[in-house]
Each structure stands twice: as C-alpha cells, then as structure tokens.
Amino acid sequence: MVALHRGHGHHGDMNLARFPRRRYTPGFTPLEPLPRLSAALGGPEIWIKRDDLLGLAAGGNKTRKLEFLVAEALAQGADTLVTVGAPQSNHCRLTLAAAAKEGLKCRLVIEERVPGTYAHEALGNNLLFDLMGVESVRVVPLGADLAAEMAVEAAAVRARGGVPYTIAGGGSTPLGALGYAACAAEIMDQSFDLGVAFDAIVVASGSAGTHSGLLAGLVALNTGVPLTGINVRRPRAEQEGNVHKLAVATAELMGTPAPSRDSVVALDEWVGPGYSLPTTSMVEAVRMLASLEGVLLDPVYSGKAMAGLIGLVRRGDFHAGQRVCFVHTGGSPSLHAYARDLRDPALNG
C-alpha cells in the first residue's frame, strides 16, 4: 500500500495497509489538466483522474475494488469468481481479467436491464468475455433476484468440487469500496505534490462503490473537498440513500468517521431515458473529450458523468476561478458496441 500520510498529517487514521490487497496497477494513475476542454467551456479549470488507465484488461474503476476483493477470494481458497452485471458490464470484464491473471475460473450472470440488449455476438466487453475464457455466461431479466442467481452459479461450482467466491454487482461492498478510499488518498497526495487544490470532485454514481469509497476516504482524510456524483441509473433520492449507506459501512470497516447524509450528492438530470440508454448530452460529452483532449469516455458511465459536469459548468454551478477534478471511471471498450449512436451526432439530435 502506498504511504497515505505523505505530505498530510492533518487527517484521521486511514490505514488500509492492514487489508490484504492484490496489486494490479503499478503506481498512481495520472492526474492531468484538460486545458482545451476547460477553454471550450469557459468556466472552471478542469482536471481528470485517469482511472481508465488502471491495470487489468482495458482498465477502469472496478480494478481498484478487485484488488481487495480478489485478495479475500484467494485467502479463502477460491478457484472460481462469480459475479453479475448488465450487458457490456465493465465490472464483469475486469473480474474475468483478474480471474485470468490469478489462474481462477469465472462465471457471469448478466442482468438484461433493458430487454433485448444482450447479444452473444456483440462487440465491446461481450467479445472480451469470450476472449478471456469465461466459464459460463447466463442471462437473466431485470428484476431477477441476483443474489439467488449467483448462488445458483456458486452451487454449480461446488458440484464440480470447486470453491466459489461471489462478488456483488460492481464490487460495491465495503471491502470493494476501500479501493476508492485508497483513490481519495491518491488524489490528495497528487494534489499536494502538484500544488493543485481542488474545489470539487465529480464522479459517475452507479452501483455506488466508487462514489461511496471516495466519499468515505475524503471524509477520513479531512479534506473538505465536496464530491458530486452524477447518476447513471437511479432517481436522486434513492441513489443518495444507497451511497450514504455504503459510505457509512465503508467508514465503519476502516474505523474512520461516517460521512454525513448531506455530504452525499448524486444528481439525476443526466440519466436520460434509463441506464445504458444513449442521450444527446452523453454523445456530445464523448465527442468533446475525444476531439479536444484525445480521452475516450464510455457511453454508460463516464460519458453521462461528463455530460453532468459540462451541464453544471454551463448552468454556473462550477465557475471560473474554481478547479474541478473529474474521476474517469473507464469503460471505453463498450464504445465499439455503441458505434451507431456515437458516430453521427445528427442521429440523436
């Protein structure tokens, strides 16, 4: 574990070194300014935390969570990882990549949140499931009892004499969220080293592990930096409740102060018609970041989160003189599965 106390000393004790952890990323992910985007929007100075460059196949935020979760799986003698996600799930891709790296098998349950959206022959992450040797992929409809469906897979593993380890959707448990408490420390270390103080941090809010872990870490480190989540799936009140509950549980696991309910913000104006469904603002954000900065966002998470940041700048919530950090949670492999929506902006306009 990196030294969390380098250059700080003003924060509480957040000793993550006592938790077993696999390391899938050498060093820190880059923290970079986005000068061309900032100039184009004419508001705050925008920086980006490049968690799309985390380790494992094609990177993304779930890698940080899996460092802690897979360490526990290995400690329990597991030989098979079992998890769940939507079609084109980045979490499923990265869980499978971790399994491949560790010599484990992997079984996936795909929750078809939008009917008809799972296609075995699809490109993007679905292709990668096949390339990385998934043991089985089983599709269930929205509303299925996912814990029960994963238990079915776990039973199949036991039936052949194996030892399953089940990972909640998105790796969003207190143990998984530790990965983003570690990321909060990483951002603050880089902020200190670069002499760059942030007025706000913005991140996609989905299964809540990333949002909750960052929040628990920022509070534990006594940073005073507000965190804004941009929903990709649920209404604001429901999502904020989810995030707060998990942030409190994560803080409890770390032995640090519980984040207050009013520190949880998960705005829902950029979800659009629903989870994973394209929006005009997402297409604009993906195209802006690609053409102005050479950074690839994804259609489901970081594209909608960046649409939120752009929207907040345009309505004056973030303004000139401020410095905002956008946490890029990855997901770009799924861009290829959304080519029709992304290629021609007139299509969605």
* Residue positions annotated with a catalytic role: 89
Backbone angles phi, psi at 106, to 5 degrees: -150, 135
Which sign, positive or negative, has the C-alpha torsion 300, 67, 203, 195? Answer: negative
Contact 300, 91 (CB under 8 A): no
**Residue in 30, 100, 96 with CA at minimum distance from that of residue 62:** 96
DSSP letters along 124-160, please?
THHHHHHHTT-SEEEEEETT--HHHHHHHHHHHHHHT
**Residue in 132, 173, 130, 126 with CA at minimum distance from that of residue 150:** 173
Q: Could you tell me the two tokens for 249?
A: 């549980």
User: Could you count the other beta carbons within 10 Å of the beta carbon of residue 49?
Assistant: 24
Judging by beta carbons within 10 Å of its beta carbon (0-12, 13-18, 19+), is residue 286 exposed, middle or buried?
buried
**Residue in 236, 311, 231, 241 with CA at minimum distance from that of residue 276:** 231
CA–CA gap between residue 108 and residue 239 (Å, rounded): 25
Backbone angles phi, psi at 270, to 5 degrees: -115, 10
CA–CA gap between residue 109 and residue 94 (Å, rounded): 14
Q: Could you tell me the two tokens for 206?
A: 């989905």
